[in-house]
């Protein structure tokens, strides 16, 4: 079983992450493994290493830089092709980072194993056009081959779209360039209707694209509203087609919006006066509540919408409720958990991140404590698990003072409070006693427990602190947070992970997709 974890370590390590700040919103810091790769003659990996690598799998976001991950996926297939296939299927159903799904599909479809290619063929059918286009480009440019199975998968994908004109029209409205790219890159002859819509720009009468042209010429707002609703013309497309947004058109636009679109365009809706009418505002709130059960909605999308749009208290409450219920649906954290928040000088960002992380964890973890620290420590409590409750709890906490990362753990030890994992949000500038490594050793001796440590770094990170913890063989995971708040919910599956053996069973229990 050890070789499984060796290649999993490599596939989700981050040695080759982009150095440009613009190339990645966040990236895991690859703390060197305490055990070298056994292929080089080293000792087997320890159970602690897998936590680090799984953090990378959940939180590393390539942000389109898929080529940086290609060598790691190739090594993974070589080291354990059986497990790789099951892991791809497992991640397809549980992962939130779309780039990883693209990578898995591209590498499965170009694998030497027929079982991989068949699984990739099936997984591709569930992707939206822009992800299919990304998988094709990755296979063609980075991997360097486009096998017949990949072309067959895309041909089937496109033919299924063509066989359902209404769905094809909806996709063409949103992903016209991606569809054209798929046809043209593989020289796939489009069906007659697809040819008219995508390449001839002469959509047949009755098609959604034809109605869009009619909408652009219409001048009467009632007629415009009727067409938008009847033909389900997306918000961004319709806004670009009509010359002015009248109240009736605005109602029609909201009627056709998905929950995700509603959240994405709250600022635009407000600009057009949607919140001025109680009835229209009620429509918007109904759409927002529908996001609670819509799997396509990013978990923290609603929270970030509050940050970027000045909304009334009632609408903010609806968005907060959406986020809370989305988080509660993700997973449960059974292990006693503590969150340590660095509030020392210049750690304002740590406090802001802590509000989000505390709200996320408290919603799914019953045994949870939050402690803020500078050179001393104190408990932070909220009157509820909602994000608004944590916002209030942190309201008067200001960044100041020296840094003793060991202070909160020392407090837990003196109180004989048992935890199995610790999340620390800090820049790692541990400069005041009790130092964290000393407090950790004392906690282990006193409590007989070696908590898993997950450090979310912010600001200018002090690397010597991390090196020291690594040298102490501490069960350590480090994630360098670079501002992508949407990725924070991915901490929850990490904190809820089972043991190594249970995880292998969980992944291998996922059936490898097959046509039969």
324 and 381 co-located in one domain? no
What is the C-alpha end-to-end distance of the chain, expressed in Å?
Answer: 29
Which among 258, 284, 321, 323 is positioned nearest to 485, based on CA atoms? 323
Give the pLDDT confidence of 410-420 residue by residue, as tens digits.
999 999 999 99
DSSP string spanning 134-163?
A: HHHHIIIIII----HHHHHHHHHHHHHHHT
Highest mean pLDDT among 44-53, 56-65, 105-114: 105-114
Question: What is the pTM for the complete model shown?
Answer: 0.70
Bridge partners (DSSP) listed for residue 371: 340, 379
Residue 210 located in a structural domain: no
Which CATH number do you get for residue 415?
A: 3.40.50.410
Of the residues 288, 303, 328, which one is the last residue of a structural domain?
328
**Tell me, what's the pLDDT at 478?**
85
233 and 285 co-located in one domain? yes
CB atoms within 10 A of CB 432: 18
> Where does the pLDDT of residue 267 fall: very low under 50, low under 70, confident under 90, or very high at 90 and above?
confident
Separation CA 322–CA 312 (nearest Å) = 16
Separation CA 243–CA 224 (nearest Å) = 10
Residue 511 located in a structural domain: no
399 and 426 co-located in one domain? yes
Highest mean pLDDT among 93-107, 236-250, 263-277, 342-356: 342-356
The residues near 374 (Cβ < 8 Å, ≥ 6 apart) are 342, 343, 344, 345, 400, 401, 402, 403, 404
The rounded Cα 229 to chain-centroid distance in angstroms is 32
Residue 288 located in a structural domain: yes
Alpha-carbon distance values, 433 to 203, 232, 290, 403, 436 (Å): 72, 63, 50, 8, 8
Separation CA 324–CA 427 (nearest Å) = 28
Higher pLDDT, 91 or 306: 91
Of the residues 328, 357, 376, which one is the last residue of a structural domain?
328
Range of the domain at 298: 218-328
Residue 502 located in a structural domain: no
Q: Residue 25: helix, strand or coil by DSSP? A: coil
Q: Judge if the upstream peptide bond of residue 456 is cis by omega within 30 degrees of 0.
A: no
Of the residues 165, 185, 205, which one is the last residue of a structural domain?
185
The residues near 26 (Cβ < 8 Å, ≥ 6 apart) are 59, 61, 479, 480, 481, 482, 483, 484, 487
Q: 34-38, 139-143, 315-319: which range is least confident on average?
A: 34-38
Residue 489 located in a structural domain: no
Percentage with pLDDT > 70 across the chain: 82
Residue 287 located in a structural domain: yes
**Tell me, what's the pLDDT at 505?**
78
Number of domains in the chain: 3
**Tell me, what's the pLDDT at 74?**
85
Q: Is the pLDDT of residue 212 over 60?
A: yes
261 and 346 co-located in one domain? no
CB atoms within 10 A of CB 170: 17
Which among 390, 398, 399 is positioned nearest to 370, based on CA atoms? 390
274 and 142 co-located in one domain? no
Separation CA 297–CA 326 (nearest Å) = 9
Residue 228 located in a structural domain: yes
75 and 112 co-located in one domain? yes
Q: What is the mean pLDDT of the chain?
A: 82
145 and 293 co-located in one domain? no
Tokens of 156: 């089937």
38 and 156 co-located in one domain? yes
312 and 347 co-located in one domain? no
The C-alpha angle with vertex 139 and arms to 514 and 127, in degrees rounded to 5, equals 50
374 and 319 co-located in one domain? no
25 and 108 co-located in one domain? yes
309 and 234 co-located in one domain? yes
Residue 472 located in a structural domain: yes
């Amino acid at each position: 079983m050890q070789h499984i974890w060796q290649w999993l370590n490599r596939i989700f390590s981050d040695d080759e992450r982009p150095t440009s700040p613009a190339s990645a919103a966040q990236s895991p810091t690859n703390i060197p493994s305490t055990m070298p790769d056994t292929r080089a003659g080293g000792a087997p990996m320890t159970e602690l290493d897998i936590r680090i690598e799984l953090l990378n799998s959940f939180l590393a976001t390539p942000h389109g830089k898929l080529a940086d991950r290609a060598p790691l996926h190739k090594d993974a297939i070589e080291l354990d092709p059986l497990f790789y296939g099951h892991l791809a299927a497992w991640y397809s159903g549980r992962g939130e980072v779309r780039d990883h799904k693209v990578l898995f599909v591209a590498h499965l479809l170009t694998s030497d194993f027929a079982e991989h290619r068949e699984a990739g063929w099936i997984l591709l059918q569930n992707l939206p056009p822009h992800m299919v286009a990304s998988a094709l480009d990755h296979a063609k440019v980075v991997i360097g081959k486009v096998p017949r199975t990949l072309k067959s998968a895309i041909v089937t994908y496109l033919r299924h779209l063509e066989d359902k004109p209404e769905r094809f029209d909806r996709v063409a409205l949103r992903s016209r360039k991606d569809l054209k790219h798929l046809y043209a890159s593989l020289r796939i002859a489009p069906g007659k209707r697809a040819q008219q819509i995508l390449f001839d720009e002469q959509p047949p009468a009755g098609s959604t694209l034809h109605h869009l042209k009619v909408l652009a010429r219409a001048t009467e707002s009632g007629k415009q509203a009727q067409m938008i609703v009847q033909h389900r013309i997306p918000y961004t497309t319709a806004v670009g087609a009509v010359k002015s947004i009248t109240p009736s058109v605005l109602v029609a636009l909201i009627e056709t919006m998905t929950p995700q679109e509603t959240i994405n365009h709250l600022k635009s809706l407000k600009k057009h006066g949607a919140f001025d009418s109680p009835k229209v505002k009620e429509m918007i709130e109904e759409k927002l509540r529908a996001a609670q059960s819509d799997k396509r909605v990013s978990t923290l999308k609603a929270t970030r919408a509050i940050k970027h749009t000045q909304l009334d208290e009632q609408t903010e409450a609806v968005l907060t409720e959406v986020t809370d219920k989305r988080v509660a649906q993700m997973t449960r954290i059974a292990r006693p958990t503590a969150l340590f928040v660095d509030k020392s000088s210049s750690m304002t960002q740590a406090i802001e991140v802590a509000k989000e992380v505390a709200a996320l964890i408290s919603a799914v973890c019953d045994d949870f404590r939050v402690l803020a620290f500078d050179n001393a420590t104190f408990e932070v409590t909220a009157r509820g698990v909602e994000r608004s409750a944590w916002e209030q709890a942190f309201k008067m906490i200001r960044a100041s003072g020296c840094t003793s990362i060991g202070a909160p753990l020392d407090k837990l030890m003196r109180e004989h409070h048992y935890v199995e994992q610790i999340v620390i949000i800090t820049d790692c500038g541990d400069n005041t006693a009790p130092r964290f490594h000393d407090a950790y050793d004392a906690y282990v001796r006193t409590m007989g427990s070696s908590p898993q440590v997950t450090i979310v770094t912010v600001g200018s990170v002090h690397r010597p602190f991390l090196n020291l913890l690594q040298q102490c063989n501490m069960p350590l995971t480090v994630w360098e947070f670079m501002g992508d708040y949407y990725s924070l919910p991915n901490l929850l599956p990490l904190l809820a992970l089972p043991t190594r053996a249970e995880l292998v069973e969980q992944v291998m229990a996922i059936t490898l997709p097959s046509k039969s």
